[in-house]
Amino acid sequence: MASWKLTLPCTRAEAEAIDFETPALAEINPPPVLMTSERVEDDPDSWQLEAYFEGKPNSAALAAVAALVPSAAGTRLVAKRIAEQDWVTLSQAGIEPVHAGRFYVHTETNKGVVPAGAKPFRIDAGIAFGTGTHETTSGCLIALGEHRARGANVRNLLDLGTGTGLLAFAAMHLWPRAYATASDIDPRSIEVTAENAAINGVALGEGAGQLALAAAAGLEHPLLIGRAPYDLIIANILAGPLVELAPTVAMALAEGGTLLVAGLLEGQADIVAQAYRRQGLRLAGRIDRGHWPTLRLVKRRRHGADRVTRRSRGRGEAPGFGSW
């Protein structure tokens, strides 16, 4: 059977928010293979969605895909016939492995030779953001390695907006006895993280050396609240949510704790840093990968009744934890 491809413009935010479980897509038999990528490097408004179909898609199938990216409204929906291919395998083969600091990230098909001393993780390209190929993710991987090299002792960490789970896995490798938590606003990302944990031998659970998972907007979840404060929070999301979440994230971070933020463009770094400075964090370091900075912020130590103290390792309640 011949293959067909539909290409639509979109934004990075739309690409990350695509719901692959929407009933409209489930009605397409077989469902299309979807791929998102940058059309213009480092421009979050210039991404594209490619949908590959087995057999010529009808108008309903095209409309179902177009509905995933509202900014493409008005674009003519024309699928082009292409040579028959295994598009899943092709999508993996087009991705190069990434060596970032202490880590080496690859897919099922491109592992190659792991560099000496590097910890490999297999993260296949798919429906969640964070495969290691983008500068925001690789910048966080490097920042994590540098944090460990400085002698940081992390006992309780949170990967906020985990995507594929990669950054949580990397942090757990560096601090194997830490209590680790990963959350995402998209429940499907939590499913992907669980799948990737199994592939990479990462134990799930709520004990030391295990990864606890939660689908949550911001920190609005009993598990996330109950396990605070964290001495390391990683947040590779977008500048807007980072600014809006600043009071919540600062409250969840222990005094003297470290916050790594990414997902922002070069021109947004000062705005994000200022938002956290208002919450008592200071900018302690920065890594630039292309036009994508990763910021390291440290919460200043304070004294008195306003100090955040850990209640328990279980689920609890606390005021002031909101969503974006």
Burial of 76 (0-12, 13-18, 19+ CB in 10 A): exposed
8 A C-beta contact, residue 60 and residue 35? no
Query: Is 236 annotated as a binding-site member?
Result: yes
- Cα 52 to Cα 79: distance, rounded to the nearest angstrom: 9
What would the DSSP string read from start to end of 179-229? EEEEEESSHHHHHHHHHHHHHTTPPBSSSTT-EEEEE-STT-SHHHHHTPP
The single-letter code of the amino acid at 43 is D
Tell me the backbone φ, ψ of residue 42, rounded to 5 degrees. Answer: 65, 20
Tell me the backbone φ, ψ of residue 112, rounded to 5 degrees. Answer: 60, -145
Cβ neighbours of residue 174 closer than 8 Å, sequence gap 6 or more = 102, 144, 145, 147, 148, 154
- Cα 90 to Cα 147: distance, rounded to the nearest angstrom: 36
Q: How many angstroms separate the Cα of 127 from the Cα of each of 36, 139, 141, 188, 189?
A: 9, 21, 20, 8, 8
Question: If you search the block for the tokens 């279980």, which residue do you land on?
Answer: 314
DSSP state of 296: E
Q: Which residues are annotated as a binding site for S-adenosyl-L-methionine?
A: 137, 161, 184, 236
Which residues fall in the annotated binding site? 137, 161, 184, 236
